[in-house]
Structure 1
Amino acid sequence: MFDQASRLRELAAAYRSQAVGRTARRFEAIAVTSGKGGVGKSNLAVNLAQVLARAGHEVLLMDVDLGLANADILLGTVPPYHLGHFLRGEVDILQVIHRTQTGLKLIAGGSGLVELGNLTAGQLRPILRSLERLEGEAEYLIMDCGAGVGDAVLEFAQAANQVLVVTTPEPTAMADAYTMIKALASRDPQARIRLVVNQAERPEDAQRAAERIVTTARNFLGIEVVHLGTIPRDSAVWQSVRRRVPYVVSYPASPAARAVEAMAMRILGEEPPAVRAPGSFFGRLASLFGRRSSSL
């Protein structure tokens, strides 16, 4: 039987051997978002981050869901600090990083996040200058963003190197996913947008849903959305939520875990993304937030 976990480790090892004698892979920010809540966005962010960490990469999972920050709950951990502490000036940003028992670095969300989108450019600049120090802490930054097309969600997504939009095959979720893709494309026609179909009862349902969204985006928006993968409906997912352990750890042979590992393999197997102007991820984010706050 094909062992996806073994294949993942082999791919990671091959990547590291190819990297000898050349510059290290640059920092890559991946935003995970959705058009509506309840489609499994946070669970995907947590489990994808966990798989990348198991493959030997330094991964930082940052919970920036301004309304429902719960990555720490899904990981079964209680960080001493969260982003709210940093935004209130109580701790340094590096103190907020919490190393979980499974080797993942976590910056938990918390109170104070809503105010982030209401700060002036002058107030925001020193905060994001501090956040730039995080780029030395990981190869991958996985951001669990909020759902919906609010300004803060779109700005985090626009600053990222690529965006994973999560949907289910259910019609309203698909419509909301397309609305999210349209909003992202209107802000950045060059955005790298990937589609993940979650909670699929049958592979053919997921394929039809993906083809409909990809085709509609191509025909009406003039952009190419890549179907990154499908996660089947799997009892291991809700069981892992109850246990507060990522399903790629607690049920590594489950269909859902293997699906996330396959998506991670695709991400690891790609060429590093081109540098996006202007500057670093947090530099781009500061520019986007600053542009909005200065126009208010």
Structure 2
Amino acid sequence: MATTLSKDKTRPSADSGTGFPHVISITSGKGGVGKTNVSANLAYLLASMGKRVVLLDADLGLANVDVMLGLAPQKNLFHLFHENAGLSDILYPTPFGFTILPASSGVSDMMDLDTGQKLELLESMDILENDIDYLLVDTGAGINDNVLYFNLAVQERILVLTPEPTSLTDAYALIKVLKAQHGIERFRVVVNMAKNMAAAKEIYLKLHTACDQFLSGVSLDLLGVLPYDQSVRSSVIKQQPFAQAFPDSPASQALAGVARRINAWKAPTQLDGNIKFFWKKLLFQE
């Protein structure tokens, strides 16, 4: 399905001072923490606020946003890189109020983009610049090249973890690599599937303490805590965002609070030396 995002000229773009959208990654050190579910539901909640949202499935070899939402796009990023499709051919409007940019699943040569493909993606994203308020980037898990690349290319990083020791150690590993190798120091944290607030705060404080002790300069802001909620699993089976299917559930209410906090973020006033957008005109800006 080819599409062109509608242009609502009565509404300014998210960053009215610069004309640029907010670009935010949702990332994690390990799989199984609910990162993609958080991404899809944040997209739904921001769209419900009247924002123009695109969700990029950046887990390029193991993509599953479309499956989670019960969608069947005909084209994805594989077709951009290998079959000369344009971005407008790939963008897929969902019935949930936001658009997805799907990737492929089970295609091994999508696991690591080469430099030319990265530049091709940067250039192709130009068409979105004036038409969206938020680009949410659902990265893969871990510290492979694609995960690092997408985390470098955004303005804000939301790190999802759960109250489990392996989630904590893998989240720390991702922060360490981004800090040590690329100078990234600011992260927002969402603790997911928390049995109670005490457990959530304990895992956050452990991560904060480790970063404070061994990674000087790293800033960790607790953006929200999402409780363990059976309705989340039920919505996955229904292939529907839990914030839509069960809007009054504890997880939906907690994530709605996260979405409101994100919507209150001010536009950045300067770049810090990394690629902060996907758009090529910033690629060469100092």
**Pairwise TM-score range, normalised by the shorter structure:** 0.7 to 0.9
For the pair 1:238 / 2:266, whether they are aligned, the reply is no
Unaligned stretches of 5+ in structure 2? Answer: 1-10
* Aligned counterpart for 2:41 among listed residues 33, 39, 47: 47
Q: Give the 3 Å change call, closer, same or farther, for CA 37–95 of structure 1 in structure 2.
A: same
The match for 2:71 is 77
Alpha-carbon offset, residue 279 of structure 1? 6.3
The match for 2:168 is 174
2:129–2:279 contact (8 Å) kept in structure 1: no
Alpha-carbon offset, residue 284 of structure 1? 7.3
* Aligned counterpart for 2:252 among listed residues 234, 243, 257: 257
Q: Could you tell me the TM-score, scaled by structure 2's length? A: 0.86
For the pair 1:200 / 2:200, whether they are aligned, the reply is no
Q: Could you tell me the TM-score, scaled by structure 1's length? A: 0.83
Distance between the aligned counterparts of 2:168 and 2:33, measured in 1? 10
1:94–1:134 contact (8 Å) kept in structure 2: no
Count of residue pairs brought into register by the alignment? 269
* Aligned counterpart for 2:131 among listed residues 131, 137, 149: 137
Matched residue type, 2:103 = G
The match for 1:183 is 177
The match for 1:267 is 262
Overall identity of the aligned pairs, in %: 35
C-alpha distance after superposition, 1:165-218 (max 9, x if no partner): 111001111111111111121233344311111111111000111111122212
Distance between the aligned counterparts of 2:108 and 2:128, measured in 1? 18
1:83–1:113 contact (8 Å) kept in structure 2: no
Describe the SS at the equivalent of 1:31.
Answer: strand
C-alpha distance after superposition, 1:230-272 (max 9, x if no partner): 1100001000000000001100001111111111111111211
Distance between the aligned counterparts of 2:255 and 2:224, measured in 1? 8
**How large is the RMSD of aligned CA atoms in angstroms?**
2.5
The match for 1:13 is none
Matched residue type, 2:26 = V
Query: Equivalent residues in 2 for 1:61-76 (5 A)?
Result: 61-76=55-70
Matched residue type, 1:129 = E
The match for 1:7 is none
Unaligned stretches of 5+ in structure 1? Answer: 1-15, 289-296
For the pair 1:227 / 2:222, whether they are aligned, the reply is yes
